[in-house]
């Protein structure tokens, strides 16, 4: 199925990454929301084309697979602007999915990579990805925007995604309220909304929509390393 993906991305944690205790607190605050573990293998054809196979595992241990081809279509490399791509998706049977997943995972060379994360669904457009393994400490909010498939052009994509980071965060309160999940503005970060709002107020939510480090085909070939002074950085494997 052909889609047009228009999205923005933010990372939590400020200039560094989230510590283990903060990640554990966030996971606990997300416990009432639907979540899936995702293990994905990526074949990066080039900077603009990516073939991906994902294995999803839900809370009951049920697996499902899909295959995605992404093609960068029209990109405006400005913070506050959307990433606009063509995306082709195919659902796979468990048998076909597992075989293709294993085949790609056994691939060698710089074109292949993989990553693991817990994906939490806030609403149909917004997710929180909590990365695991070599990328533990990276937490990313992704928001996809509903687009008219008949409309084209960078101006259109930018118009429908024009909102500040603060508006994105405060807009989540409506979604959480609709699910009956308590929200507050407590400085104690006793619920998910107040946790995210507190991170924002501390300047610890940063947009990375056009940061090449946080593109999936780069992340899947990267690890977090601690350098001099204790600061953690993302480096290539």
Lowest mean pLDDT among 109-113, 118-122, 200-204: 109-113
Lowest mean pLDDT among 20-29, 57-66, 152-161, 196-205: 152-161
Count of domains forming the chain: 1
Structure-token pair, residue 181: 């999940």
Flag whether pLDDT at 108 surpasses 60.
no
CA distance 10 to 139: 8
Is 227 part of a structural domain of the chain? yes
Flag whether pLDDT at 76 surpasses 60.
no
Range of the domain at 147: 2-23+33-163+204-236
What per-residue confidence (pLDDT) applies to 187?
74
Is 208 part of a structural domain of the chain? yes
Flag whether pLDDT at 156 surpasses 90.
no
Flag whether pLDDT at 109 surpasses 60.
no
Structure confidence at residue 111 as a pLDDT band (50, 70, 90): low
What per-residue confidence (pLDDT) applies to 75?
47
- As a whole number, mean pLDDT of residues 100-117 equals 79
Lowest mean pLDDT among 14-18, 75-79, 188-192: 75-79
Between 106 and 115, residue with greater pLDDT: 115
- As a whole number, mean pLDDT of residues 42-58 equals 85
Is 59 part of a structural domain of the chain? yes
Flag whether pLDDT at 165 surpasses 70.
yes
In Å, how far are 162, 165, 179, 204 from 86, measured between CA atoms?
20, 24, 31, 31
CA distance 93 to 55: 11
- As a whole number, mean pLDDT of residues 62-82 equals 72
Is 209 part of a structural domain of the chain? yes
What per-residue confidence (pLDDT) applies to 89?
92
Is 193 part of a structural domain of the chain? no
Flag whether pLDDT at 13 surpasses 70.
yes
Is 191 part of a structural domain of the chain? no
The CATH number assigned to the domain holding 84 equals: 2.40.320
DSSP secondary structure, 165-195, as one string: HHHHHHHHHHHHHHTT------TT--SHHHH
Is 28 part of a structural domain of the chain? no
Is 64 part of a structural domain of the chain? yes
């Amino acid at each position: 199925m052909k889609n047009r993906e228009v999205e923005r991305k933010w990372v939590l944690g400020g200039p560094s990454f989230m510590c283990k205790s903060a990640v554990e607190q966030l996971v606990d605050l997300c416990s009432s929301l639907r979540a899936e573990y995702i293990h994905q293998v990526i074949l990066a054809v080039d900077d603009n084309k990516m073939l991906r196979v994902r294995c999803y595992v839900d809370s009951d241990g049920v697996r499902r697979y899909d295959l995605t081809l992404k093609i960068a279509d029209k990109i405006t490399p400005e913070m506050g602007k959307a990433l606009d791509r063509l995306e082709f998706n195919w659902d796979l049977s468990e048998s076909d999915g597992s075989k293709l997943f294993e085949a790609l995972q056994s691939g060698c060379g710089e074109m292949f990579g993989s990553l693991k994360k817990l994906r939490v669904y806030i609403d149909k457009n917004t997710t929180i990805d909590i990365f695991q393994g070599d990328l533990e400490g990276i937490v990313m909010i992704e928001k996809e925007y509903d687009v008219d498939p008949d409309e084209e052009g960078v101006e259109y994509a930018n118009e429908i995604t024009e909102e500040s980071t603060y508006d994105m965060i405060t807009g989540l309160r409506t979604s959480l309220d609709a699910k009956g999940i308590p929200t507050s503005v407590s400085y104690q970060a006793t619920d998910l909304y107040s946790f995210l709002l507190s991170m924002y107020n501390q300047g610890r939510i940063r947009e990375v929509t056009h940061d090449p480090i946080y593109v999936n085909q780069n992340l899947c070939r990267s690890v977090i390393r601690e350098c001099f002074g204790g600061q953690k950085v993302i480096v290539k494997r």
